């Protein structure tokens, strides 16, 4: 991968829980400034262009362009970067209650309600109108997200939340999981999509469009994301116009975001907007197999993909990113034999070495067979 960035007024923060070798190579080759923090003290690379807090902050206030790999970096951004405008944007987007309140005039019929952790266990659920979704006010990687079809689902969700709160506090920072406040909201109908974009002069520049299929109505997992020429043809203009309209409320500029949304006909409702990053866990790098360019380069160079050229010769292919969870037995071994029976064309398998993640590997693949997608969704590890 060879990229040439001529404007080095860009800053990157690396953090838990996962950094890909592709990203490390990209940062090294372009000598992009990276914050020297506790995470970069690990043996990631000897060639990263590491900067002290003081140098990093000075460079940022000169360029106002920053990318964080995950929400783990947001605590440092909020407490140290000294950009109150950016802090306000991050707080608005990461706090799901604040985000719903800001967008309530766009979706006047959308139900949502805030609960403290203790209020969940004293609330009378018999007054609720299902289906609903319960999740932390601040969350990450579908942690503690529950689809509730009836009152019994509510009771089961509370039991799981009680068991998992302490574990999640130990694994993820409070900024990420936000176990103290939950939001109960309408279950949004339609297909789910995830898009990566940045705002240039407050207008969206879309880099990635992924459809996020599920195996059932109650499935909230991150097992599979797909993209294709058909998806881009059907949704690029629609999502560009939608995010441009949404930003009239959010007023974002010069920052990358990852947006999850549901589409039901012409009705589009955002699930959440994640600031200062594209899709996490290296999902955004599926774009490399389409463009030959690391997706961050588009943001860093104020450019957009060539939407026509990126699909030349790939018109009938579906490109896939899937998460292989750790099996209960032999969690250290990837069952390549079973995988080969499901995937017809594997582009790359990336093992995950972080013991705090229940993920064994990320798989990049392509197919022209929609049945294969169903098999991936229902694959038993």
Question: Would you say the C-alpha torsion 208, 209, 214, 217 has a positive or negative sign?
Answer: positive
- pLDDT for 70: 93
- pLDDT for 178: 46
Distance CA 175, CA 173 (A): 5
- DSSP label at residue 255: -
CATH of the domain spanning 191-377: 3.30.470.20
Domain range list for the chain: 11-92, 96-186, 191-377
- pLDDT for 349: 95
- pLDDT for 214: 93
Distance CA 344, CA 76 (A): 42
CA dihedral 36, 39, 44, 46 (to 10 degrees): 20
**Structure tokens given for 191:** 């297909």
* Helix, strand or coil, per DSSP, at residue 295: coil
pTM over 0.75: yes
Strand 267-275 versus strand 112-116 pairing type: unpaired
291 burial class (0-12, 13-18, 19+ CB within 10 angstroms)? middle
Cα→Cα distances 172→73, 169, 179, 251, 357, Å: 11, 6, 10, 29, 10
- pLDDT for 218: 77
- pLDDT for 142: 46
Distance CA 351, CA 343 (A): 16
Q: Which residues contact 46 (CB under 8 A, 6 or more apart)?
A: none
Task: Indicate the class that CATH gives domain 96-186.
Answer: alpha beta
Q: Measure the CA angle with vertex 231, ends 204 and 338; round to 5°.
A: 120
- pLDDT for 117: 84
Distance CA 252, CA 201 (A): 9
Residues of the chain with pLDDT under 50: 5-6, 140-142, 177-178
- pLDDT for 311: 98
In the β-sheet with 146-148, what is the strand arrangement from edge to edge?
Answer: 112-116, 181-186, 132-136, 146-148
Residue 78: enclosing H or E segment and its boundaries? Answer: helix 74-80
Distance CA 110, CA 98 (A): 14
Distance CA 136, CA 327 (A): 26
């Amino acid at each position: 991968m060879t990229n040439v960035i001529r404007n080095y007024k860009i800053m990157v923060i690396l953090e838990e829980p996962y950094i890909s070798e592709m990203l490390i190579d990209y940062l090294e080759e372009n000598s992009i400034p990276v914050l020297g923090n506790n995470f970069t003290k690990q043996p990631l690379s000897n060639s990263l262009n590491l900067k002290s807090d003081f140098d990093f902050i000075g460079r940022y206030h000169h360029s106002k362009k920053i990318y964080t790999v995950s929400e783990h970096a947001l605590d440092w951004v909020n407490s140290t970067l000294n950009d109150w405008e950016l802090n306000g944007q991050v707080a608005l987007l990461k706090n799901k209650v604040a985000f719903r309140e800001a967008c309530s005039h766009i979706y006047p019929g959308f139900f949502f309600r805030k609960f403290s952790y203790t209020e969940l266990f004293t609330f009378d659920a018999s007054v609720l109108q299902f289906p609903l979704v319960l999740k932390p006010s601040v969350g990450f990687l579908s942690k503690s997200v529950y689809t509730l079809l009836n009152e019994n689902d509510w009771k089961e969700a509370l039991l799981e939340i009680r068991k998992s709160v302490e574990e999640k506090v130990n694994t993820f920072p409070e900024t990420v999981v936000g176990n103290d406040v939950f939001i109960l909201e309408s279950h949004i109908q339609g297909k789910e999509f995830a898009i990566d974009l940045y705002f240039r002069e407050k207008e969206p520049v879309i880099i990635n469009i992924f459809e996020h299929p599920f195996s059932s109505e109650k499935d909230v997992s991150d097992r599979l994301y797909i993209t294709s020429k058909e998806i881009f043809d059907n949704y690029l203009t629609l999502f560009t116009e939608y995010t441009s309209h949404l930003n009239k409320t959010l007023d974002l500029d010069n920052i990358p975001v990852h947006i999850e949304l549901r589409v039901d006909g012409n009705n589009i409702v955002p699930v959440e907007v994640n600031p200062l990053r594209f899709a996490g866990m290296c999902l955004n790098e599926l774009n490399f197999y389409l463009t030959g360019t690391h997706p961050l380069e588009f943001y860093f160079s104020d450019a957009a993909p060539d939407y026509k050229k990126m699909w030349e010769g790939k018109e009938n292919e579906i490109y896939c990113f899937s998460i292989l969870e750790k099996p209960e037995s032999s969690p250290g071994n990837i069952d390549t034999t079973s995988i080969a029976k499901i995937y017809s064309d594997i582009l790359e398998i990336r093992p995950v070495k972080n013991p705090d993640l229940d993920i064994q590997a990320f798989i990049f693949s392509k197919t022209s067979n929609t049945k294969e997608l169903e098999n991936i969704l229902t694959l038993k590890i």
